[in-house]
């Protein structure tokens, strides 16, 4: 999907990052602590806007084509910018505390809150409800989600190193600005693709044994994988059944050979 829609995805991230970089550059000409803080806020909001817009874009291109223009996609991301920012800040604080204390709680929170932004953008969930909804989707598949995120982080780390080496010849101030725009425009769509597709796969996966998509096993009991060669369905459980009632039952229909003549039977085997 990244290769097929690279121009569209990179274009969305590039437009937002360039706009934020221009605003930050103009503000920095004034100088001062307050101005620097405003520039930092603009940069942070731009990052969250990129995530929201790219999630919307991935939802749009899942059918194989981009129906929304770059402007429409950015506008859709702007509509949910405040809840995305609020949820991301709360998650960042909690995850940061977890990583500082024992590391493992932070990694756990990263995993169960992996699809907070897709939940907000696609389902229009609230800030607080998005945490519970993300946990509901990830529950039972945490190791798969965590492994996918780790692989994405490794790829992102390698790409950042390569791009940093390519831009090392530039002056420091220019290198930082170009690195933010270029790296963000190239890497952010890839990460957004991964996270959003995780969301859609979790959304489509069966979550309870009562789910029709859940595999059915012997005797109609859910939770067993289908067995090749055996029809699946609802069968009565094994048990002790009463014998059939006495009586004369007609023979089953069909052509059977006549019984041998009376008296012409082979002798029984010795010892019978």
pLDDT at position 196 over 90: yes
Residue 55 lies in a domain: yes
- What span, in angstroms and rounded, lies between the C-alpha atoms of 12 and 60? 13
Range of the domain at 152: 6-81+139-204
Chain centroid offset of residue 268 CA: 73
Confidence of residue 257 (pLDDT cuts 50, 70, 90): low
- The predicted structure's pLDDT at residue 137: 95
Most confident of 11-20, 57-66, 146-155, 177-186: 146-155
Beta bridge partner(s), residue 216: 222
Residue 159 lies in a domain: yes
Confidence of residue 181 (pLDDT cuts 50, 70, 90): confident
**What mean pLDDT is predicted for residues 109-122?**
94
Alpha helices for the chain (secondary structure H): 6-28, 33-61, 70-79, 81-101, 104-112, 116-123, 127-138, 142-166, 172-204
pTM value is 0.68
Q: Residue 141: how many CA atoms within 13 Å on its side-chain side?
A: 22
* Contact call for residues 224 and 215 (beta carbons, < 8 A): yes
Comparing 48-52, 62-66, 139-143, the range with the smallest average pLDDT is 62-66
pLDDT at position 148 over 80: yes
Angle between helices 6-28 and 172-204 (to 10 degrees): 140
Residue 236 lies in a domain: no
- Tokens encoding 138: 């990830």
Residue 194 lies in a domain: yes
Helix (H) or strand (E) segment spanning residue 80: none
- Four-CA torsion 93, 50, 53, 122, nearest 10 degrees: -20
Residue 94 lies in a domain: no
Residue 250 lies in a domain: no
**What mean pLDDT is predicted for residues 168-196?**
81
Task: Give the chain's domain count.
Answer: 1
pLDDT at position 156 over 90: no
Residue 223 lies in a domain: no
Residue 217 lies in a domain: no
């Amino acid at each position: 999907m990244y290769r097929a829609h690279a121009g569209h995805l990179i274009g969305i991230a590039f437009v937002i990052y360039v706009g934020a970089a221009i605003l930050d550059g103009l503000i920095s000409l004034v100088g001062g602590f307050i101005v620097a803080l405003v520039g930092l806020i603009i940069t942070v909001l731009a990052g969250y806007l990129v995530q929201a817009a790219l999630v919307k874009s991935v939802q749009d291109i899942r059918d194989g084509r981009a129906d929304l223009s770059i402007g429409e996609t950015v506008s859709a991301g702007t509509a949910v910018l405040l809840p995305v920012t609020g949820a991301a800040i709360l998650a960042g604080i909690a995850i940061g505390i977890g990583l500082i204390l024992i590391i493992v709680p932070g990694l756990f929170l990263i995993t169960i809150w992996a699809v907070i932004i897709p939940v907000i953008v696609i389902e229009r969930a609230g800030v607080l409800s998005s945490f519970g909804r993300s946990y509901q989707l990830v529950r039972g598949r945490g190791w798969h989600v965590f492994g996918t995120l780790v692989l994405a982080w490794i790829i992102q780390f390698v790409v950042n190193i390569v791009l940093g080496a390519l831009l090392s010849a530039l002056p420091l101030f220019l290198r930082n600005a170009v690195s933010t725009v270029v790296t963000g425009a190239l890497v952010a769509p890839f990460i957004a693709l991964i996270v959003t597709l995780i969301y859609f796969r979790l959304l489509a996966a069966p979550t309870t044994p009562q789910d029709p998509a859940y595999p059915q096993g012997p005797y109609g009991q859910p939770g067993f994988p289908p067995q090749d060669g055996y029809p699946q369905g609802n069968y009565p459980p094994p048990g002790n059944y009463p014998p059939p009632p006495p009586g004369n039952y007609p023979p089953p229909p069909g052509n059977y050979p006549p019984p041998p003549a009376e008296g012409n039977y082979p002798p029984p085997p010795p010892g019978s």
